[in-house]
Amino acid sequence: MQPRNMSMSGVVDLAAVKAAGEAKAKAEQARAEAARKAAQGGAPAPAGAVPPSALVFDTDETRFESHVVPLSGEVPVILDFRAEGFEQGRELSLLLERLTLEANGRLALAALDVAANQNLIREFRIQALPAVFAVVAGQAMPLFQDLPSEGEVRGVLAQLVQIAEERFGVIGVEVDPGAEGAAAPGQGAVEAEEPAGPYDALLDEAIAALDADDLDGAVRAYKNVLAADPSNTDAKLGLAQTELFVRVKDMNPQAVRAAAAENPKDPAAQIAAADLDLAGGHVADAFGRLVDTVKVTFGDDRDAVRVRLLEMFEVVGPDNPLVTSARTALARVLF
């Protein structure tokens, strides 16, 4: 497949719509918003020197508005939509990472998993991979939707940096190679050793509730932790597992499996049967059932099945090879 013309004309046209003064005002507004969120404990403000590696990070739909958009008022953010198992796109992703680090604060790179971010897939109207966009001062711009050469990528990124500065007043951030350990955009600060957290008592409360067979109490305790600390790994895993137990505890296994056999395209029937599979330890069966259901459903039905499958990945854990295989299979049926 030959790369298509890598002209940045679309970006220039988009930028030209805005007067220079209006564009710079947007950039200043994004900077102020980033600072406000930082003061409230939200997105870290990009002010001050950061390590180069902090400008290459993973993001998702939740953090897109709260982290990526404000950051784009300081530095052009490349959006790289990725899928596990899409080996053709891996080389492009590695190239983007390398060139972002070489840009020395003039670019940032945010990677998104297509299987987990379907709302953004629809918003950006992505039909196939690879798909690479940029966000500058809150404005989205298409970059690549094919496999370009390194020279073409370098040329486009150079134009992106130039347009960001001239049209939007976005000039990048200061980097400090010796500042490793500083917080990455869209992520919290990393500590060498994690101290005892403020939520240990609530996590203990959840475990005690599970021991007492109080599933509802455990769910409440885990949700209380996540309300204040959405990235708490223990609470996310505990909640996913407990909610699975809640869903299956009153099921009639024979009736559920009979309904699934009779209605192979019914998302509710297949989700219920997959929950039983997972709760019974049949992980591959649960994943396979839902991937097959994604193939034959559309719209909201497909999205409901996909979301439940992603929840199951949380229950099993991202490092499990069955999760890796299922993510690859899901990406293949989605694209």
pLDDT value of position 315: 85
Token output for 318: 């991202």
pLDDT digits (tens, 9 = 90+) for 83-93: 877 777 888 99
Contact at 8 Å (CB) between 186 and 71?
yes
pLDDT value of position 128: 82
Mean residue pLDDT of the chain comes to 78
pLDDT digits (tens, 9 = 90+) for 227-249: 888 878 888 888 988 999 999 98
Percent of the chain residues topping a pLDDT of 90: 31
pLDDT value of position 296: 94
pLDDT digits (tens, 9 = 90+) for 274-300: 999 998 888 899 999 999 999 999 999
Please give the domain boundaries of the chain with CATH numbers for all domains: 9-168 (3.40.30.10), 200-334 (1.25.40)
pLDDT value of position 138: 84
Cβ neighbours of residue 29 under 8 Å, at least 6 residues apart? 73
pLDDT value of position 295: 93
Of 47-51, 249-253, 281-285, which gets the smallest average pLDDT? 47-51
Using a cut of 0.75, tell me whether the model's pTM lies above it. Answer: no
Residue 253 has pLDDT above 90, yes or no: yes
User: What is the average per-residue pLDDT within 295-307?
Assistant: 92
Of 23-27, 218-222, 321-325, which gets the smallest average pLDDT? 23-27
pLDDT digits (tens, 9 = 90+) for 77-133: 999 999 877 777 888 999 999 999 999 899 999 999 988 888 888 888 887 888 899
**What is d(CA 13, CA 214) in angstroms, rounded to the nearest whole number?**
59
Measured on CA atoms in the order 149, 150, 152, 156, is the torsion positive or negative?
positive
Contact at 8 Å (CB) between 172 and 47?
no
pLDDT value of position 178: 60
**pLDDT band, very low/low/confident/very high, at 38 (cuts 50, 70, 90):** very low
Q: Comparing 177 with 98, which gets the higher pLDDT? A: 98
User: What is the average per-residue pLDDT within 307-326?
Assistant: 84
pLDDT value of position 32: 52
